[in-house]
Chain A
């Protein structure tokens, strides 16, 4: 127990990220199922308008910040040091700090569901309820007087710290900790996409932090950044939020693209087609992702010039995305495809992401988007991108790397049930939403009239959502089953090309007995140009020093939610207690003897 609380081992932190994010994924999924149950019939009365608004706000916030990002982070943590041939990340204690801040931030946000009595209200009454996008000026004290929005803006600030710390950590790790010979253009594709993602994290999160701080000032100190009556501008919020929000979309999708770029070559027995192009198109997406944010705002009325420019940049970003898809198909072309569960999810990712990408192009056109934005058509789009894309990619990664992380394979039989139930379920759930949107159903409504004609479509969506729920249960059973009965994986169960498959599963705490020397992009494969790398010695030829654990990352992390609780309850003294904990934690951390 103590060893897990104080761990600085990237592999253990990766597992902590995985299990924590999985729990949040289940919570976010339950929220989605309640939403779908409510919409299963017109004038549904399962939950009130107020509860419904909390559920969709928390569903979006949870899935983006507490499920998809940290599930990617689980793989960053576990896999990146192994792929680049390192013993750990550059800053192991900072890594632990990121995890604890993420955990506490997630708990803080979700505590809002049961914190009502502390504020003289019932349960399910003070959770964030202004949407995951939190548009001003609905979020102002005047229109949202309760602590709901406070939970949201404080929770997201906490989570931002976790993301930023991890972002810097992985950039330094990938740039500085590579094994000898691992030049940038020999980096595995997943490591490349991670590197790009982390640059987006460290540049995009400051933007939302600024927006959240301004909102906090508006709500706590009576400033008027977003309050029109005081000379502020609610549109400023939209610009800041989407200036963060669109890079965030790529923060969510690029890691999944990286996973797919690992899984496809392994199970096609072919190198990634156009590696260089895949890498550069990722870099290009990272840059271009900064120039498209106002396509979330076509209905604002920014004027024809702005609409045209953002429309053009948005269409352009489809090009590098399309290039990736063609390169993945090129990877499979002429290969010997083995349809393991990991491969099924990777191929499913491509098939579903194409649909999400194409519907994206239809609302890159502002006049067309004016009929689509804020309707279920867009709900369909984002779920094809973030579930059909990111989530299928992450499932692919789970089946692919689970043997490395635990030493045992997941069941292929259960895995195939998991895949097909997910695949059928998601298409039943999300495809009809294109129609309900085009037929006039706006999003974020807790009720609709029978006269709208979308009842049956919604019932199909609800059935599909529950099918996804069944699929997730199958996955949980699979995780449980594999603990004792999963097939022993050995070093390399799939015939992978990258360094993580050169060592035992799970790897020893020091990872590599000797740091390998990397001569090419596919070190473990026999190609026409080179032979596979020589096996590493089974035991380290010399003792390897591994740093011990530390309490201080966790202690420091505890100070942050303390300050947030202080702000929520308007207790100035508690702010200083939290601050003191943070400062003391950092001080003791900094002066902790290196050898423990």
Chain B
């Protein structure tokens, strides 16, 4: 399908959606505005099938409507036709759909094999590990470990190598292409090249338990230099708080509290837990709690004191700490840029 067809389809669906929705977006998780090579081929394929479906829909529903109005019972009409069947017609309406399906099947098969091709040399490798209910991203070649916010490079192919630490999840960042399941005991992969510097929203697409709805993610596609700077910063140990500051008290509470059972902070020897997200640079992230909450002081307070309220089923327990301790922890976590 030509790009003009895609634009027309985009226009049509947007207009229809706007008519129904009463607003024109923005739609951060739309599948109809792809920003990667994978997204583009999938969208082209879908556009083609969509138009075939529209044509068939128009013909068959039109035929149905015609019959309904043309042949409704009328006074004084002659007896109904006694036609029991018609071999030529039967063959015709068997072959016609089969023929249309060929036009759908051939591009489908091509796209299947094209999108299954191995990653090109020089592709960025990222290990994606699904957890109930957050995402762990590891860059094995860079040594970077982060959570919920994936950083990628514009124009550089990426291979996501995905598995799960518990149950089946599914990685889905609609703007960058289709989804792929994360299955415990297996490694699945998906390869694509993002083509625009932007921020993308996504979320888990396979039902994975109580807080499935709260397992979201962000993807930041950056220029080569921005990405390199980000990665270099991620490799530095955590910031050391100023002596006597509130943040230092927070670090002390963190290092001697329950936090270390689940969280790692590089540079804090006690904090080596791996059950929860790595917090070495948590202050530099834009979101909290599986990318469901903005990373602000207020949301951090609510999250620390009562995580299961915000994320049902959360492994992180509610922590009814005194206000001054919570404030210290917040100051510390926010300092970990």
A residues with a Cβ closer than 8 A to B are: 48-50, 53, 130-131, 135, 137-138, 143, 228-229, 233-235, 268-271, 273-277, 299-301, 303-304, 307-308, 311-312, 315-316, 318-319, 322-323, 325-327, 329-330, 332-339, 347, 350-351, 354-355, 358-359, 361-362, 364-375, 432, 435, 438-449, 451-457, 460, 527-528
* Distance in angstroms between the alpha carbons of A130 and B183 in the assembled complex: 16
Determine the chain A residues whose CB is within 8 A of the CB of B261 once the complex forms.
none
Nearest residue, chain B, Cβ from A442: B205
Q: Is the CB of A319 within 8 A of B56?
A: no
Select from chain A the residue with minimum beta-carbon distance to B43. A371
A270 close to B83 (CB less than 8 A) = yes
Complex A-B: 5 CB contacts under 8 Å: A53-B210, A137-B167, A300-B181, A336-B72, A368-B49
Instruction: Tell whether B301 is near chain A: CB-to-CB under 8 Å.
Output: no
Q: Is the CB of A368 within 8 A of B184?
A: no
Tell which of A48, A277, A303, A367 touches B45, judged by Cβ atoms closer than 8 Å. Answer: A367
B243 is an interface residue with CB less than 8 A from chain A: no
Q: How far is the CA of A300 from the CA of B26 in the complex (A)?
A: 30
Given contacts A371-B174, A374-B205, contact A233 B30 (CB under 8 A): no
Shortest Cβ gap from A299 to chain B (Å):
5
- B183 A440 Cβ-Cβ under 8 A: no
Give B311 Cβ to nearest chain A Cβ, in Å.
Answer: 9
Report the nearest A residue to B16, measured CB to CB: A435
Nearest residue (CB) in B for A267 is B73
Contact A444 B73 (CB under 8 A): no
Q: A273-B85, A311-B112 are known contacts. Are A332 and B67 too (CB-CB below 8 A)?
A: yes
Contacts of B82 in A (CB 8 A): 270-271, 527-528
* Bound form: Cα–Cα A506–B177 in Å: 59
A135-B168, A370-B179 known; A439 and B53 CB under 8 Å? Answer: no
Q: Looking at the complex, which one of B23, B68, B186 makes contact with A456 (CB distance below 8 Å)?
A: B23
Q: Is the beta-carbon distance between A274 and B71 smaller than 8 angstroms?
A: no
Nearest to B174 among chain A residues (CB) is A440
Size bracket of the B interface: 35 or more
**Contact of B184 with A137 in the complex, beta carbons under 8 Å:** yes
CB distance from A137 to the nearest CB of B (A): 6
Are B180 and A445 within 8 A (Cβ)?
no
How far, in Å, is B147 (CB) from chain A's closest CB? 19
A362 touches B101 (CB 8 A): no
For A228, what are the chain B residues with a Cβ–Cβ distance below 8 Å?
183-186
Interface hits, B29-64 → A, CB 8 Å: 29-32, 41-43, 45-46, 49-50, 52-53, 56-57, 60-61, 63-64
Q: What per-residue 1/0 map shows which CB atoms of B195-219 lie under 8 Å from chain A?
A: 0000001011111111111100000
Nearest chain B CB to A443 CB, angstrom units: 8
In the assembly, what is the distance between CA of A367 and CA of B179, in Å?
A: 9
Q: How far is the CA of A48 from the CA of B207 in the complex (A)?
A: 16
In the assembled complex, B116 has its CB within 8 A of some CB on chain A: yes
Q: Does B312 lie within 8 Å of A50, measured CB to CB?
A: yes
Nearest CB in chain A: distance from B212 CB, A? 6
Cα A369 to Cα B108 in complex, Å, equals 11
Min C-beta distance of A310 to chain B, whole Å = 11
Query: Shortest beta-carbon distance, A148 to chain B, in Å?
Result: 11
Give the docked Cα–Cα distance between A326 and B207 (Å). Answer: 38
In contact, B181 and A368 (Cβ under 8 angstroms):
no
B105 within 8 A of A: yes
User: A351 contacts B61, CB within 8 Å?
Assistant: yes
* Known contacts A304-B113, A308-B109, A457-B21, A334 near B71 by CB under 8 Å: yes
B229 CB–A CB distance under 8 Å: no
Distance, CA A138 to CA B43, complexed state (A): 32
Q: A367-B112, A373-B179, A445-B212 are in contact. Are A336 and B73 (CB under 8 A)?
A: yes
Q: Which residues of chain A come closer than 8 Å to B26, judged between CB atoms?
A: 453
Query: Hey, which chain A residues are within 8 Å of B273, CB to CB?
Result: none
Is B80 located at the chain interface by the 8 A CB criterion?
yes
